[in-house]
């Protein structure tokens, strides 16, 4: 019995009192000062790449398709010969119209001579007014026949020119829908191929009416469209190296989505190291999805603190600040447009206040702390790009 008591007393001696767990001294924390920090205002949207120009090639005369003179999927230049339609029938039609015009000119020349003779005899005893009038009418009729023959020849020459189908714009051409040997025509064959322009490209994206109002208010006094640039975040997570400019905002809100359509123009040069015109030689492809970053050109100054210092509960955002006698004080804040690493504080803090950014997991209001400089990289917010709040 005595031995059991001794064992129990020994256990009681090695277990510390419950309150001893909280007497470990002040909590070591890292502290930064709230400072004015330049950030770039950024709003993010989902957009789609769209070609500036798109042309569907169709045959404008009916005939056999003799040749395809391009590599499918390649880039073509304005005026480049793409298809040839059988020329023989159209060449023959041109020559027939040329002959008809020559005949009409000969008859006009004869009618003109007849009119001149009738006019010279008009004031002589042999002259008759009726003969002159008939000669004049015949000459004018024949002149009209010449004009008609010239128009017919011009039409034949135009149709003959349509046997060569050329690229109307620079761009990348699709595969052909009609192969050589088939009969093509304006009402039968449909689209032969499509050319899509490559540089520059549009990026089209919807903006909610509320976001559009916010952007208008945000940049109205700074130059409107001229005060922002557009950057693209590619599907691989990389920022596209070229910047674009907003050039269009739809005048009508879509009633089904309550959004406006915005559009920017973005350069799409050949990727360095690739040969122009090769497959995949340009980064932006018509129809592709990207994330659109609409950024202000001029950075703005905000009261910035490390994003790691901000905590959130059901009542909103708050931070721990360094209070009297090195105690942690809970301070409610309101955040503005911020970045992944810098929080822009609209209200709740004053410039120069000391904010605890490290060790906050161990804090409660009123806890004594042992303050020290925060780890470099967390202590002083740098100039950054802000994200959508």
290 and 214 housed in the same domain: yes
Instruction: Please indicate, yes or no, whether residues 191 and 71 belong to a single structural domain of this protein.
Output: yes
State whether 287 and 216 are in the same domain: yes
- Whether 1 maps to a domain, the answer reads no
Please indicate whether residue 344 or residue 185 has the higher confidence score (pLDDT).
185
Question: Both 125 and 250 in a single domain?
Answer: no
- State residue 21's pLDDT score: 43
- Among 268, 71, 60, 74, which residue's Cα sits nearest to residue 184? 60
Whether residues 95 and 122 share a domain: the answer is: yes
- One domain for residues 168 and 70: yes
> pLDDT tens digit string along 75-109?
999 999 999 999 999 999 999 999 999 988 898 88
Query: What's the rounded Cα separation, in Å, for the pair 24 and 377?
Result: 29
Percent of the chain with pLDDT over 90: 31
328 pLDDT more than 50: yes
Selected residue with higher pLDDT from 114 and 121:
114
pLDDT of residue 10: 43
pLDDT band of 56, cuts 50, 70, 90: very high
pLDDT at residue 240 tops 70 = yes
Indicate whether 289 and 210 sit together in one domain. Answer: yes
User: Which whole number is the average pLDDT over 117-136?
Assistant: 72
The band of 383, judged by pLDDT with boundaries at 50, 70 and 90, is very low
Q: Which residue has the higher pLDDT, 126 or 186?
A: 186
Q: Which of 45-54, 120-129, 235-244, 314-323 has the highest mean pLDDT?
A: 45-54
Higher pLDDT, 37 or 168: 168
Q: Does the pLDDT value for residue 265 go beyond 90?
A: yes
Q: What is the CATH number of the domain that holds 102?
A: 1.10.287
Residue 47 shares a structural domain with residue 65: no
Q: What is the pLDDT of residue 30?
A: 85
Residue 5 domain-assigned (yes or no): no
CATH number at residue 341: 2.40.420.20
Decide if 340 contacts 304 (C-beta within 8 A): no
Region 156-172 average pLDDT: 93
Name the band, by pLDDT with cuts 50, 70 and 90, for residue 166. very high
Closest CA to 52 of 193, 172, 206: 172
Please indicate whether residue 369 or residue 64 has the higher confidence score (pLDDT): 64
Mean pLDDT of the chain: 82
Name the least confident of 13-22, 269-278, 296-305: 13-22
Residues 6+ apart with CB under 8 A from 331: 318, 319, 320, 321, 348, 349, 353
**Residue 12 clears pLDDT 70, i.e. is over it:** no
Vertex 59, ends 58 and 61: CA angle to 5°?
150
pLDDT tens digits, 186-202: 888 889 999 999 989 99
As a whole number, mean pLDDT of residues 342-356 equals 84
| pLDDT at residue 385 is higher than 50 | no
The enclosing domain of 65 has a CATH number of 2.40.50.100
Residue 287 maps to a domain: yes
Q: What is the pLDDT of residue 20?
A: 42
- Do residues 173 and 74 both lie within one domain? yes
Same domain, 218 and 294: yes
- Read off the pLDDT band of 5 (50, 70, 90): very low
Q: How far is CA 187 from the centre of its chain?
A: 34
Per-residue pLDDT at 17: 46
Same domain flag for 252 and 189: no
Query: Which CATH number covers residue 208?
Result: 2.40.30.170
Q: State the total domains in the chain.
A: 4
Residue 6 resides in a domain: no
Residue 249 belongs to some domain of the structure = yes
Residue 40 has pLDDT above 80, yes or no: no
Domain of residue 210, residue span: 43-52+197-272+282-300
Given this model, what pLDDT does residue 15 score? 46
Given a cut of 70, whether residue 22 has pLDDT beyond it is no
**Angle, CA 303 vertex, CA 298 and CA 309 arms, to 5°:** 125
Percent of the residues in the chain that have a pLDDT greater than 70, as a whole number: 85
What CA–CA distance (Å, rounded) separates 53 from 202?
Answer: 10
15 is a domain residue: no
What is the per-residue pLDDT for 223?
A: 64
Question: pLDDT at residue 387 above 60?
Answer: no
**Cβ 55 vs Cβ 169: under 8 Å:** yes
In a domain, 11, yes or no: no
Residue at 16 is within a domain: no
Q: pLDDT (tens digit, 9 = 90+) per residue, 279-319?
A: 778 889 999 999 998 877 777 777 888 888 888 888 888 98
Same domain, 75 and 190: yes
Displacement of CA 321 from its chain's centroid (Å) = 44
Per-residue confidence (pLDDT) for residue 222, from 0 to 100: 67
Asked whether the predicted pLDDT for residue 52 surpasses 80, the reply is yes
């Amino acid at each position: 019995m005595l031995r059991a008591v001794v064992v129990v007393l020994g256990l009681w001696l090695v277990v510390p009192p419950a309150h001893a767990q909280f007497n470990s001294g002040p909590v070591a924390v890292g502290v930064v000062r709230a400072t004015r920090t330049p950030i770039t205002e950024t709003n993010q949207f989902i957009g789609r790449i769209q070609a500036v120009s798109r042309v569907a090639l169709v045959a404008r005369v009916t005939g056999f398709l003799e040749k395809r003179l391009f590599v499918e999927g390649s880039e073509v230049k304005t005026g480049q010969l793409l298809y040839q339609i059988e020329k023989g029938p159209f060449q023959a039609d041109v020559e027939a119209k040329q002959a008809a015009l020559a005949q009409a000119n000969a008859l006009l020349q004869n009618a003109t001579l007849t009119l001149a003779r009738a006019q010279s005899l008009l004031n002589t005893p042999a002259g008759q007014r009726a003969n002159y009038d008939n000669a004049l009418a015949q000459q004018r009729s024949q002149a009209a026949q010449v004009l008609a023959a010239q128009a017919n020849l011009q039409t034949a020459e135009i149709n003959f020119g349509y046997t060569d189908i050329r690229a109307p714009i620079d761009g990348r051409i699709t595969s052909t829908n009609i192969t050589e040997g088939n009969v093509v025509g304006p009402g039968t064959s449909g689209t032969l191929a499509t050319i899509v322009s490559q540089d520059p490209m549009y990026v089209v994206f919807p903006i909610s009416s509320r976001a559009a109002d916010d952007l208008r208010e945000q940049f109205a006094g700074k130059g409107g469209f001229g005060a922002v640039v557009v950057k693209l975040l590619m599907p691989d997570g990389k920022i596209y190296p070229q910047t674009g400019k907003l050039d269009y905002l739809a005048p009508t809100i879509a009633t089904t989505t309550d959004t406006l359509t915005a559009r920017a123009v973005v350069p799409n040069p050949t990727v360095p190291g690739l040969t122009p015109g090769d497959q995949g030689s340009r980064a932006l492809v018509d129809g592709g999805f990207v994330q659109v970053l609409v950024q202000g050109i001029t950075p703005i100054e905000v009261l910035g603190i490390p994003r790691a210092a901000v905590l959130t509960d059901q009542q909103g955002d708050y931070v721990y600040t360094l209070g009297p006698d090195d105690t942690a004080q809970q301070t409610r804040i309101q955040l503005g447009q911020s970045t992944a690493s810098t929080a822009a504080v609209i209200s709740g803090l004053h410039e120069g206040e000391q904010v605890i950014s490290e060790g906050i997991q161990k804090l409660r209001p009123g806890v004594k702390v042992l303050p020290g400089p925060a780890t470099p990289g967390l202590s002083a917010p740098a100039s950054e790009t802000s994200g959508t709040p």
